[in-house]
Chains A and B, each alone.
Chain A
Amino acid sequence: MHMTRARRREALAFYLCISPWLIGFIFLTVGPMLYSLYISFTRWDLLTDPVWVGLRNYTVKMPNDERFWQSLKVTVLFTLAYVPLELIGGLALALLVQSRIRGIRLFRTIFYLPTVLAGVAFVVVWLWMLDPRGGLVNLILARFGVVGPRWLLDPDWALSALIMMSFWGWGRAMVIYLAGLQAIPGELYEAAAIDGASGWTRFWRVTIPLLTPTIFFNLILSIISTFQSFTNAFVATNGGPLDSTLFYVLYLYKQAFEFRAMGYASALAWVLFVIILALTLVVLRSQRFWVFYAGERSDG
């Protein structure tokens, strides 16, 4: 490609800028990733050497593995349900706490709190709250005359319970939205207000379009991380009851460390990789239709 000197300098500057990441990528990431790809063609119990089995993990083991399909179904359902909820919920919270009224800093901290506490202790609190026989949730429902379901003990409700639990993690998205909201130049609101735009119009015509890069970010990250959900299921249900909350990465982890089938686990990982990559590429491609970058540089 014929580049002008200026362009060449710019390219050099680019590679210089990304060198920290690139170095890490080459030395700490690519190797392990390719190694795990190799392992996915083997059978490895971690205690002896890997044994080559070719495509067996992919063509024989996986398609016949009922729990694989189950975990895929669980994870897809969960992601389809949770991602939109997180995108909207996080934004709602961010808008709620954006104002500079008294005590707002406390409220922001309160909404962010559950993300900090996330961990075994927090999940266990949920186990108690969802206890069908006397937990907070069913007690409250009883006040309204509703007999609450058995939540984490009921295969039909356990996944919904986990979705519900995840709402408390909206704080992360909220914070990112808040940072993104800050990048919207105040004068645009000024101009809109002067032109007589109402609050609602200002929201749809100014805030949302200029927030699209942040929404885009949250969407991609949400897809990538929700597909890999692990901790809540690991602690709260261990995949049960009846594998109704057997998340994909949880199943992968079990295969790797409980059944010591690291080869199969690696194959599972790569299948997940392809799925997530495909989805992400779709979203990336869709960028030009709905994401507006104020700082877009048109290639001259």
Chain B
Amino acid sequence: MDNDRSDLHIMRLRGRRLALRYLLLAGAAVLFLAPLYWMIASSLKPEYDVFARPPIWWPSPPRWQNYVEALTKLPFGRYAVNTLIIAVFSVVGYTLSCTVVAYGFARLRAPGKDTLFVLMLATLMLPYPVVMIPQYVIFSELDLVNTFWPLILPAFLGSPFYIFLLRQFFMQIPPDLEDAARIDGANLGQILWYIMLPLARPAMATVAIFSFQFAWNDFLAPLIYLQDQSKYTLMLGLSFFRSSFQVNWAYLMAASLTVALPVIILFFIAQREFIEGITLGGVKQ
């Protein structure tokens, strides 16, 4: 049933329209893949060939050992585990906390709400480098430096970006379902759990993907909070390929690609959730 309805508003594409669609997709894809192609090609070259002029379009033979060498120079396995821990906590924390907070901003009326909303957005407007040090001092006083806590704790306290996203999403949904439920005597918790959560799945999945990626790619916070190398994340590990005076490009490309792979795979698999997810065809008057 749902499939029919969603397909309908996404018009069945046939014939010329289908061909045109594929043409556009292919064209855009080539553009978007161009940098990736160069990264992969570079990662398979010996270091001194990476910037050869005229450029070597594809190395022969491709130096697959670059990947093994790059990833074994440092304990990337451990870095991956560290990053995964932080990322998973981030995802759980952000999705749960932000959904609840967003619901409040979207649906509940209260004095001071608009001011708080603007205040919340305002916290995004001050560049991180200047709040970095006072926040560091706070965590330092709490003796939480050189642990994962400064990287995980904020997840459970929401993030304006995701809260805003979910709030917009909630506000796009007609309140009919909730009103009906309220009339039937449902309370806040029940409404949240049984009605809003299922409806919010596409947006929550989006938040999940974004927060995972952010945790995976974060550099500045791990830089200052993680001191001993056994706790380093993947991004810190990648920075090792860039020493002050020279960079090992082939290794850096190989390692960067490998590090990005989990997020890419996650996106590929999870897109079902936030793109082909539940449509709201079920809302009846």
Contact = CB atoms under 8 A, between A and B. Distances in A.
Interface string A17-38: 1101111110111011101100
Interface string A110-121: 111111111111
Nearest to B36: A113
Contacts of B203: 179, 183
B183 interface: no
B108 A17 contact: yes
Given A20-B158, A121-B253, A265-B129, A13 B264 contact: no
A166 interface: no
Interface in B28-48: 28-29, 32-36, 38-39, 42
A107 B29 CA distance: 7
A71 to B, nearest CB: 12
Contact of A121 (B138, B206, B256): B256
A273 B122 contact: yes
Interface centre among A7, A124, A202, A257 (most CB of B within 10 A): A124
Interface in B187-223: 188, 202-203, 205-206, 209-210, 213, 217, 219
Given A114-B32, A176-B206, A20 B157 contact: yes
Contact of A183 (B11, B133, B202): B202
Interface of A is mostly: helix
Given A100-B276, A186-B9, A108 B271 contact: yes
Contacts, number: 321
B101 to A, nearest CB: 5
B172 A269 contact: no
B146 interface: no
B225 interface: no
Interface in B116-141: 116, 118-127, 129-131, 133-135, 138
B175 A185 contact: no
Contacts of A46: 133
Contacts of B125: 224, 272-273, 276-277, 280
A32 B138 contact: yes
Interface string A252-283: 11001100001001100110110011001100
B33 A116 contact: no
A146 interface: no
Contacts of B24: 96
| Chain B interface extent, by class | 35 or more
A15 interface: yes
A295 B175 contact: yes
B5 interface: yes
A109 B267 contact: yes
B58 interface: no
B256 A122 contact: yes
Nearest to B3: A100
A295 B5 CA distance: 21
A213 B120 contact: no
Interface stretch (B60-68, B79-87, B159-167): B159-167
Interface string B81-111: 0000000000000000100110111111111
A183 B173 contact: yes
Q: Which of A20, A121, A186, A216 has the most CB of B within 10 A?
A: A121
Contacts of A22: 116
Interface stretch (A59-67, A80-88, A125-133, A153-161): A125-133
Contact of B100 (A17, A27, A186, A190): A17
Contacts of A186: 5-6, 8-9, 279-281
A52 interface: no
A68 interface: no
B197 to A, nearest CB: 13
Given A121-B253, A190-B8, A21 B163 contact: yes
Contact of A96 (B28, B104, B209): B28
B165 A93 contact: no
B74 interface: no
Contacts of A217: 164-165, 168
A128 B163 CA distance: 38
Interface in A94-113: 96-101, 104-113
Interface of A: 1, 7, 10-11, 13-18, 20-25, 27-29, 31-33, 35-36, 39, 46, 93, 96-101, 104-122, 124-126, 128-129, 133-136, 168, 172, 175-176, 178-180, 182-190, 193, 199, 202, 210, 213-214, 216-217, 220-221, 224, 228, 230, 249, 252-253, 256-257, 262, 265-266, 269-270, 272-273, 276-277, 280-281, 284, 293-297, 299
18 contacts: A17-B104, A18-B116, A20-B158, A100-B10, A105-B271, A109-B271, A116-B260, A118-B217, A179-B169, A182-B279, A183-B172, A186-B279, A186-B280, A199-B11, A214-B169, A221-B161, A228-B127, A277-B125
Given A133-B53, A189-B8, 7 more contacts: A11-B108, A116-B267, A117-B35, A121-B238, A134-B54, A270-B126, A297-B107
Interface of B: 5-11, 13, 18, 21-22, 24-25, 28-29, 32-36, 38-39, 42, 51, 53-55, 97, 100-101, 103-111, 113, 116, 118-127, 129-131, 133-135, 138, 153-154, 156-158, 160-161, 163-165, 168-175, 188, 202-203, 205-206, 209-210, 213, 217, 219, 235, 238-239, 242, 247, 249, 252-253, 256-257, 260, 263-264, 267-268, 271-272, 274-281, 283
